[in-house]
Amino acid sequence: MRATARRIGMRGARDRRVQLAVESVDLAELAGVVRRRYGRHLYASYLRGKTLMRDAIVEELRCSAYEAEELVETLELMGYVRFPSLADQTHALTRDTWTITEDPR
């Protein structure tokens, strides 16, 4: 098991029979994993950015793609990763800058 997986609360990450408890993951630490991979800003479309972050989490934590998608959603909802929204609360189809932070305040 990778040290990162243990550090953010995924003790059974290598054993695929163990399901990840998303609520037990340290989101600040996970945001740090994504930020170290891509930097403070990630220039991509909304969907491509989410896919890149999901794939990075799968690779780093060795969790399923589904679990990683849940984690990316949670990071976004909690403000650790942000993509500009349009006035109607949707996202542009063009590329823009994702902001990745370990402190969502």
Categorise residue 59: left if φ over 0, alpha if ψ from -120 to 50, beta otherwise. alpha
Residue type (1 letter), 59: E
Q: Which domain holds residue 42?
A: 3-100
Burial 38-58 (b: 16+ CB within 10 A, else e): beeebebbbeebbbbbbebbb
With a cut of 70, which residues of the chain have pLDDT below it?
A: 1-18
Q: pTM of the full predicted structure?
A: 0.80
Task: Indicate the residue type of 68.
Answer: A
The domain total for the chain is: 1
In a domain, 105, yes or no: no
pLDDT of residue 10: 53
pLDDT in tens, 37-50: 999 999 999 999 99
How much is the pLDDT for 1? 39
Taking Cα atoms as reference points, which of 74, 80, 72, 68 lies closest to residue 13? 68
Whether 85 maps to a domain, the answer reads yes
